[in-house]
């Protein structure tokens, strides 16, 4: 069993490294025919406009849309979440192509630019219930999107209060709708809809592997057979020193 990782741009190596720690092989996907060798896919964070241009160049969009439509498990992190959304606002002039399938509206740079990137302890009740561990997860938000609206089939897995430095610019010249989210309100940052998982933050940049094992369980439930390998390396993982970034909080 191998998990495909879209490897056009962004943090695909980091996802592959986490999968390796869980005893699962990550396969780099760059071309449409390579998608046929895998039954699930992770779309990493990075820069969604650049990623869209590269996907267009490699003629990947039709194959990616087909992959999603066939009900295969796909997890988009950050730029990958934007890619999976049915609608994105705050895009560059001319917009960008999306895969779609996830019934939600995302704001591309909801939390602001690079300088507004932040880390926070995110309450993750469903993840903790399924994967164990602490009730919160350390969310690394890098020029992160926010999920402004979700459809009726979308399950919200995490949301956070809108930070007080949030400065949404819906860029009306692009026809984006005015958004009413204000500081103090909550914004959705993780969702699941059937075979699709979306997180606005970067679980591949932390030592906590629960989002990855949650996705592997989705793969298992939908038709794969990865659970035995996940359990097999659990002990090995806990005996390794954790190399991790420091956490900052506002």
Q: State the catalytic residues.
A: 78, 202, 204
What's the min distance (Å) between Cβ of 26 and ligand GLN?
18
Q: Give the residue with the Cβ less far from ligand GLN, 45 or 73.
A: 45
Q: Give the residue with the Cβ less far from ligand GLN, 14 or 103.
A: 14
| 46 marked among binding-site residues | yes
| 142 marked among binding-site residues | yes
Q: Give the residue with the Cβ less far from ligand GLN, 110 or 224.
A: 110
Tokens for 36, please give them. Answer: 């046929």
What's the min distance (Å) between Cβ of 225 and ligand GLN?
30
Tokens for 104, please give them. Answer: 């939600």
For the residues of 27-43, what is the DSSP string, one character each?
A: EEE-SGGGGGG-S-EEE
| 48 marked among binding-site residues | yes
Beta strands 146-150 and 102-107 are antiparallel
Beta strands 102-107 and 74-77 are unpaired
| 108 marked among binding-site residues | yes
Do 191 and 157 form a contact (C-beta atoms < 8 A)?
yes
**What's the CA gap between 128 and 25, in Å, rounded?**
24
Q: Which residues lie below 8 Å from residue 9, measured CB to CB, with a gap of 6+?
A: 46, 47, 50, 51, 54
What's the min distance (Å) between Cβ of 17 and ligand GLN?
17
The DSSP element (H or E) to which 106 belongs, if any, is strand 102-107
**What's the CA gap between 117 and 88, in Å, rounded?**
19
Residues that bind ligand GLN (CB under 6 A): 45-48, 78-79, 82, 108-109, 142-143, 145
What's the min distance (Å) between Cβ of 151 and ligand GLN?
21
Neighbours of 38 (CB within 10 A): 21
**What's the CA gap between 119 and 22, in Å, rounded?**
24
Q: Give the residue with the Cβ less far from ligand GLN, 48 or 193.
A: 48
Q: Give the residue with the Cβ less far from ligand GLN, 92 or 130.
A: 92
Neighbours of 223 (CB within 10 A): 12
What's the min distance (Å) between Cβ of 109 and ligand GLN?
5
| 14 marked among binding-site residues | no
Q: Binding site for L-glutamine: which residues?
A: 46-48, 108, 142-143
């Amino acid at each position: 069993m191998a998990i495909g990782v879209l490897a056009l741009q962004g943090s695909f190596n980091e996802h592959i490294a986490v999968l390796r720690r869980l005893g699962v092989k990550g396969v780099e996907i760059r071309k449409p025919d390579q998608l046929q060798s895998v039954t699930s896919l992770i779309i990493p964070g990075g820069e969604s406009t650049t990623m869209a241009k590269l996907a267009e160049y490699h003629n990947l969009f039709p194959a990616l849309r087909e992959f999603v439509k066939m009900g295969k498990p796909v997890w988009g992190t950050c730029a990958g979440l934007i890619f999976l959304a049915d609608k994105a606002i705050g895009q560059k002039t001319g917009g960008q192509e999306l895969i779609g399938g996830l019934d939600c509206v995302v704001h591309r740079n909801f939390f602001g630019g690079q300088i507004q990137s932040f880390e926070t302890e995110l309450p993750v009740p469903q993840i903790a219930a399924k994967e164990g561990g602490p009730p919160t997860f350390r969310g690394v938000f890098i020029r992160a999107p926010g999920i402004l609206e979700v459809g009726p089939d979308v399950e919200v897995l995490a949301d956070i209060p809108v930070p007080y430095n949030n400065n949404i610019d819906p860029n009306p010249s692009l026809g984006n709708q005015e958004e009413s989210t204000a500081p103090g309100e909550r914004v959705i940052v993780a969702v699941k809809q059937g075979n699709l998982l979306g997180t606005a933050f970067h679980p591949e940049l932390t030592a906590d592997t629960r989002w990855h094992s949650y996705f592997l369980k989705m793969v298992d439930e939908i038709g794969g057979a990865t659970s035995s390998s996940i359990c097999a390396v659990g002990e090995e993982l806990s005996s390794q020193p954790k190399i991790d970034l420091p956490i900052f909080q506002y």
